[in-house]
Structure 1
């Protein structure tokens, strides 16, 4: 018997149809999302490639899912240059810090190179001016700093102890090559890699220290005193000066037998210099010359002359004597003796230094020039030459010291580069990111307009600072706390900023030309 139609049955069937349609739509949406969001990508980390399936929509999300830690100087590249897509290739190259030498200035440099030869090649790709760039290997037996192969493409020329040899297999570490040549390194010996006309050179420099002593002369000082018992303009050497001596001990550094620097470690005085004391007669007063009084005048006149000569002697000693307070003692000393004292002084023989010091002003090392012609010429005071404390030889390109350009020792990235040095550093750093040719030209033009490649360039209006003109400058602290003084930190941050904001320098340069900022 057929089922009869009822309104309730119609409502139930309608609800079933609506539910089925809703389920179908949901299933279709889920399938579409699953198919669209599911991606197969290749993840390459330092040359090791893994094919993975992911639903991540961005590279950052992918790395977070995989637990990959990224540091500030690491380089991340994706074939899609944006949102993650199916069949993309994500490449991560971990950076490590090495030390390069630019025109004799040591600079820490973060690189992703897999060989020393490749690192030097980065600088050659973009370098237009011929700067001398070498790579210093601080510890060849350290896996991080010395674990790189020297030259993946060919042989290596080894220079050590004045001998040149060829290592046919350059795809070895510095330690392996040196061991194969029977070269043993000392604690302070230096190992560096450089390129010369396409030849990769592994150079070993022997560093030795030697203690040297030198005898130096200590010049004597000269003291001049005024003696009223002498004739005006007359000078007498009361005590002859004598130079002293000292023995300085230096720690001298020799690199391959050539003196590079020296440091004063101790200084011992072996003979104390004897001061030379010169007595000078008072200047003849103008009043005595006008009156025509004789040298054997009355006691009263002698007292007057003594007073005038004392005043003249005080003024004749120059402004430095007056400012040091010698005028008052001079006037007091010349006016206090009575006429009898003056007569006895004139008839007594040449006074001893102790008596002269009592009747004369306080000693001064400034030698006055008497106006009258002296009857006896004193030996001139020799000008003391400063002793050498820490002289150094700046001729070595591997000395690792740089004061004017703010070079840093290894591990300390405080560096004040010249424009040429800054561009050389940036040339290698940009080439690591594949920015050569027009991209490098765009970067040079961009930062020339922004800062002229000056590490201390600041915009007083906006507050932008440094070679890349970071706004504010404190943003660069991500790459180094000393961003204000370190051109290397500024360049590293600037390249990172261009990468995440524009992708490459040509786009940033075009934006600058359109809007006058980037």
Structure 2
């Protein structure tokens, strides 16, 4: 009986068991480390570590160490990798895996934080030099942020929802990248604007065709408009009118346009002796004794004529002024392009036929006195019949 008890005592071995640092003493009757673990209900996975190995024999007083494997997902500046470690703290895991985060790096968990059996996700952000272009002003900053939004916060750049960020706020931060932020704001404002006047043309049967007369001058109006202005970095990039108030109405310009038909030009009259003698008197030959005949020195046959040594006949000047006022509003140099010229509206045929060529090729190129002289020549032959405004005489 004593021998049987002695045999049992010999087979019982005292073993120190350490599981993830938790120590206990167990009695083992098996022959291997694996037998001891099985008796304690410890199942080993492919990433777990046991020392000595599971097939090693067990000696009395031996220490068995079990370390469970833990999945550690490490994301460094947005790049993710998976590791298996038997370390129970973040610091030991980084050391065990040989992961160096560098000076100034920021961890999402402290180095002393424990790693449970379910593992841990760890984010590591290393320092990055970035360039900033904020509101048109350049600067640099060193940040450990992983997103543009966090980088701006670390760089103490304030912004609101109206501002434009490029790249987007959720974009990843990379060393040396440029982050641009445009300041955008909206403000109301007013503008005073001119309102152009309209030109109204009215037909007037009292004026000859081709002539116009301004009855009323136009005047621009004004209005005050309220706008919503959009500014980007202080410059206006968009404006939208929200309201308008007319402060002064424009005044139309009124122009009367002649519709009265001009009289048809009359046939060329037969040249009178008096007009034909005048060109000779105005030529250099007139200074010779032969040209100074009594007949050549008489400019017009009319007894009411007011003649001068220059060959001008300005008699009836007041009458011709009245007719010119009706024919051309008193414009002695008018050329409306309708075939009638000057204050008394001579056509080319009548002007040259009455000796107007003594003074100019067309009536509008001659002086008032020269036009009256030619008119008196026509009057001597045909009276006021050629003029549509004879009634104004």
Shorter chain as denominator, the TM-score bin is: 0.3 to 0.5
TM-score calculated relative to the size of structure 2: 0.33
Which structure shows the higher strand fraction?
2
RCO greater where, 1 or 2, for CA within 8 Å and sep 6 or more? 1
Which structure shows the higher helix fraction?
1
TM-score calculated relative to the size of structure 1: 0.26
